[in-house]
């Protein structure tokens, strides 16, 4: 069973003139980092919201087609209990994801396990591990509301890491993070995939994700248009025609009139342009 | 003369309640300079920019923005002289059309209708937003809204432009546009103070790095001396490539590098 499967999915936001997803079909597997990208409005963020059940539950709108998140239809009210604690959704604006009632970062991270009725000792040890994994142990006693954007994002991720979710849905999770924070999240994604979780990330950070993702799906017009390994896709022309971005070096190669396949990394570029 | 210094901070301290964020910070930004304000999450970068725009006031020391002490002043007293782009521009957009949004600042400054129209049109043109002038800002995708907020920050021709993550969420083409605009404004004398995690943007558009660590300025040095020379600040790909190809000193943008590479032999391909 795929961790996430969409079959012929359509989704239209309330009042929107055009659908955000249209005949969208793809699956994401456990143990792999699946990276979604595309031009603005191509549908990657909406696909994650639909997979998490937030669309249409919170956004309103109409969904058609088949969605199976860990085997459940996330739009059904009954799925909330079945998926609770098993799916981690991380958005680019962490402030909207804090519980708002925890007085400290440690409480924030312990919030979901406590709600799920875990034994106290297990909560304590898992919370400590999760805070260590994203290097926020030193913030344990801080008020979450006073954290910087990047610190808040780490706290939000720790609060999900603690649950050992089976499926990660991450929408531009590193946009508020510095280089060290990005590397930390990319390492976390790799480790989670190795642990056996399915990791699905929507991102435009081609330079950051090239070494992380095992599979790339380029969206266009609300559905997957290209599906394959990041290296093969990013070296080609099709990704540009889809309005998505490749790496900085590929962009430079295009501007310099190089014919595809484009060099993708600095090493590739040095090999190509050294006399 | 003081009036010509876009930003001067002397021994500035600031705390949120009992949580001290900045201590003994001194910093000067000159006309035309492009300063990247760097440091780990939580080091006080956003707080420093809010002190510079008089949105916050120092607990100790003095902040002088475009020749005016910020003590007893608010952002409205610096209007026109200082432009700023918040990290979440939703916080600063409120008008019914893009044109009205960008015109709001000049209207508050009491400019004549014709001067406002000329300035707004020119700024929308500069940001390639002219076609969207009649749109409601909230009907636009989030990255375009950021550019509208940037237009509003630029329209009055500020001496100091404060940018908080100006390229966040922008695609590569829009990031290149913002880079060009920052370079053009700097050439015209505007000082730029930018909080950014985007080292590709910083390397392309800015020249100086100010690194905040543990409540103070830990380093103040030319950006090329920081990027790739310190584990926390890896060189962005184009800068690293330029260095390895012996093109150090060339601005690390695709636009600047591409013409220098087209004449190079392309090993590994059949083309001449």
- Chain B residue nearest residue A182, CA to CA: B197
Which residues of B are less than 8 Å from A92 in CB distance?
Answer: 169
Coil, helix or strand at residue B164: strand
Q: Is B189 exposed, middle or buried (0-12, 13-18, 19+ CB in 10 A)?
A: middle
- What average pLDDT does the segment B45-60 reach? 94
Q: 3-class secondary structure for chain A? A: CCCEEEEEEEEECCCCCCCCEEEEEEEECCCCEEEEEECCCCCHHHHHHHHHCHHHHCCCCEEEEEEEECCECCCCCCHHHHHCCCEEEECCCHHHHCCCCCCCHHHHHHHHHHHCCCCHHHHHHHHHHHHHHCCCHHHCCCCHHHCCHHHHHHHHHHHHHCCCCCEEEEECCCCCCCHHHHHHHHHHHHHHHHHCCEEEEECCCHHHHCCCCCEEEEEECCEEEEEECHHHHHCCCHHHHCCCCCCHHHHHHHHCCCCCCCCCCHHHHHHHHCC
Taking the CA of residue B40 and the nearest CA in chain A, the distance in Å comes to: 7
Taking the CA of residue A117 and the nearest CA in chain B, the distance in Å comes to: 33
Residue-level pLDDT at B270? 45
Taking the CA of residue A249 and the nearest CA in chain B, the distance in Å comes to: 7
What residues in chain B have their Cβ under 8 A from chain A's Cβ atoms? Answer: 16, 19, 38, 40-43, 46, 87-88, 141, 143, 165, 168-169, 171-172, 197, 199-200, 232-234, 236-238, 240-241, 244-245, 254-255, 257-259, 261-262, 264-269, 271
DSSP for residue A236: S
Task: List pLDDT tens digits, range B187-219.
Answer: 999 999 999 989 999 999 999 999 998 778 888
- Hey, is the C-beta of A10 within 8 angstroms of any chain B C-beta? no
Question: What is the sign of the dihedral through the CA atoms of A38, A39, A45 and A51?
Answer: negative
Which residues of B are less than 8 Å from A208 in CB distance?
Answer: none
Select from A177, A255, A270 the Cβ nearest to the Cβ of B244: A270
For B84, left (φ over 0), alpha (ψ -120 to 50), or beta? Answer: beta
Is the pLDDT higher at B186 or at B92?
B186
Select from B42, B234, B261 the Cβ nearest to the Cβ of A151: B42
Task: List pLDDT tens digits, range B117-146.
Answer: 999 999 999 999 999 999 998 888 878 888
Task: List pLDDT tens digits, range A204-231.
Answer: 899 999 999 999 999 999 999 999 999 9
- Hey, is the C-beta of A75 within 8 angstroms of any chain B C-beta? no
Residue-level pLDDT at B271? 43
CA dihedral angle for residue A245, residue A248, residue A249, residue A250, rounded to 10 degrees: 10
Which residues of A are less than 8 Å from B238 in CB distance?
Answer: 248-249, 252
- What average pLDDT does the segment B226-230 reach? 93
A218 strand-pairing partners = A37, A226
- Hey, is the C-beta of A96 within 8 angstroms of any chain B C-beta? no
Coil, helix or strand at residue A177: coil
Model confidence at B106: pLDDT above 90: yes
Size of interface A-B (CB pairs under 8 A): 112
CB contact under 8 A, B41 and A149: yes
- Hey, is the C-beta of A15 within 8 angstroms of any chain B C-beta? no
Residue-level pLDDT at B2? 43
By the 8 A CB rule, do A53 and A83 touch? yes
By the 8 A CB rule, do A104 and A142 touch? yes
Residue-level pLDDT at B272? 37
At residue B42 the predicted structure's pLDDT band, cuts being 50, 70 and 90, is confident
- What average pLDDT does the segment B256-267 reach? 81
Residue-level pLDDT at B1? 43
- Chain A residue nearest residue B169, CA to CA: A175
Candidate ranges A144-158, B37-51, B156-170; pick with highest mean pLDDT = B156-170
A90 strand-pairing partners = A170
- Chain A residue nearest residue B37, CA to CA: A178
Residue-level pLDDT at A275? 66
Which residues of A are less than 8 Å from B16 in CB distance?
Answer: 146
Which residues of A are less than 8 Å from B168 in CB distance?
Answer: 175-176
By the 8 A CB rule, do A11 and A57 touch? no
At residue B91 the predicted structure's pLDDT band, cuts being 50, 70 and 90, is low
At residue B65 the predicted structure's pLDDT band, cuts being 50, 70 and 90, is very high
CB contact under 8 A, A270 and B168: no
Q: Which of B171, B209, B242, B254 to mutate to test the interface with A (most CBs of A within 10 A)?
A: B254
By the 8 A CB rule, do A127 and A110 touch? yes
> Alpha-carbon distance A230 to A212, whole Å?
9
Select from A147, A151, A256 the Cβ nearest to the Cβ of B261: A256
Which residues of A are less than 8 Å from B232 in CB distance?
Answer: 178-180
Taking the CA of residue A48 and the nearest CA in chain B, the distance in Å comes to: 17
Cis peptide before A261 (omega within 30 of 0): yes
Q: Which of B89, B91, B197 to mutate to test the interface with A (most CBs of A within 10 A)?
A: B197
**Could you tell me the end-to-end alpha-carbon distance of chain A, in angstroms, rounded to an integer?**
51
By the 8 A CB rule, do B225 and B219 touch? no
- Chain A residue nearest residue B144, CA to CA: A40
Model confidence at B18: pLDDT above 50: yes
Residue spans of chain A under pLDDT 70: 275
- What average pLDDT does the segment B1-12 reach? 81
CB contact under 8 A, A275 and B236: no
Is the pLDDT higher at B88 or at A141?
A141
Which residues of A are less than 8 Å from B233 in CB distance?
Answer: 179
């Amino acid at each position: 069973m795929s961790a996430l499967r969409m079959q012929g999915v359509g989704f239209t936001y309330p009042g929107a003139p055009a659908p955000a997803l249209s005949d969208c079909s793809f699956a994401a597997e456990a143990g792999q980092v699946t990276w979604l990208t595309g031009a603005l409005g191509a549908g990657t963020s909406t696909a994650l919201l639909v997979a998490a059940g937030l669309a249409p539950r919170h956004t309103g709108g109409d969904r058609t087609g088949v969605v199976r998140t860990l085997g459940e239809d996330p739009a059904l009210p009954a799925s909330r209990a079945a998926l609770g604690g098993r799916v981690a959704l991380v958005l680019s604006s962490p402030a909207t994801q804090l519980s708002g009632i925890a007085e400290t970062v440690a409480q924030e991270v312990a919030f979901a396990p406590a709600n799920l009725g875990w034994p106290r000792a297990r909560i304590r040890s898992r919370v400590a591990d999760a805070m260590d994994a994203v290097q926020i142990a030193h913030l344990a006693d801080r008020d979450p509301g006073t954290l910087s954007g990047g610190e808040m994002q780490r706290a939000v991720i720790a609060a999900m890491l603690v649950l050992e979710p089976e499926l990660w849905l991450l929408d531009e999770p590193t946009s508020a993070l510095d280089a060290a924070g990005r590397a930390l999240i990319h390492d976390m994604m790799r480790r989670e995939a190795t642990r056996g979780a399915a990791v699905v990330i929507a991102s435009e950070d081609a330079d950051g994700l090239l070494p992380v993702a095992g599979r790339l799906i380029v969206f266009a017009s609300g559905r997957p248009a290209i599906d394959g390994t990041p290296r093969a896709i990013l070296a080609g022309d099709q990704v540009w025609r889809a309005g998505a971005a490749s790496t900085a070096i590929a962009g430079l190669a295009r501007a310099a009139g190089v014919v595809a396949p484009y060099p993708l990394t600095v090493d590739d570029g040095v090999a190509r342009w050294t006399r | 003369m003081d009036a010509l210094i876009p930003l001067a901070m002397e021994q500035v301290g600031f705390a949120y309640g009992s949580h001290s964020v900045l201590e003994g910070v001194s910093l000067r930004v000159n006309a035309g300079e492009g300063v990247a304000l760097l440091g780990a999450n939580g080091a006080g970068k956003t707080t420093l920019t809010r002190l510079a725009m008089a949105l916050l006031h120092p607990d100790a020391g003095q902040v002088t923005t475009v020749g005016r002490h910020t003590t007893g002043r608010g952002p409205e007293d610096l209007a026109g002289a200082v432009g700023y782009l918040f990290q979440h521009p939703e916080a600063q957009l409120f008008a019914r059309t893009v044109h009205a949004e960008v015109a709001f600042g000049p209207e508050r400054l009491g400019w004549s209708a014709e001067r406002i129209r000329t300035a707004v049109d020119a700024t929308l043109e500069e940001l390639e937003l002219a076609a969207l002038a009649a749109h409601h800002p909230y009907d636009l995708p989030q990255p375009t809204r950021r550019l509208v907020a940037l237009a509003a920050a630029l329209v009055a021709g500020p001496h100091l432009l404060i940018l908080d993550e100006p390229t966040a969420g922008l695609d590569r083409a829009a990031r290149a546009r913002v880079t060009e605009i920052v370079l053009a404004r700097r050439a015209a004398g505007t000082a730029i103070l930018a909080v950014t995690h985007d080292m590709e943007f910083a390397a392309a558009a800015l020249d100086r790095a100010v690194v905040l660590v543990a409540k103070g300025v830990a380093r103040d040095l030319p950006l090329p001396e920081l990027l790739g020379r310190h584990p926390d600040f890896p060189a962005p790909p184009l800068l690293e490539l330029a260095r390895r190809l012996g093109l150090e000193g060339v601005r690390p943008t695709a636009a600047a590098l591409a013409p220098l590479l087209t004449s190079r032999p392309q090993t590994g391909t059949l083309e001449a």
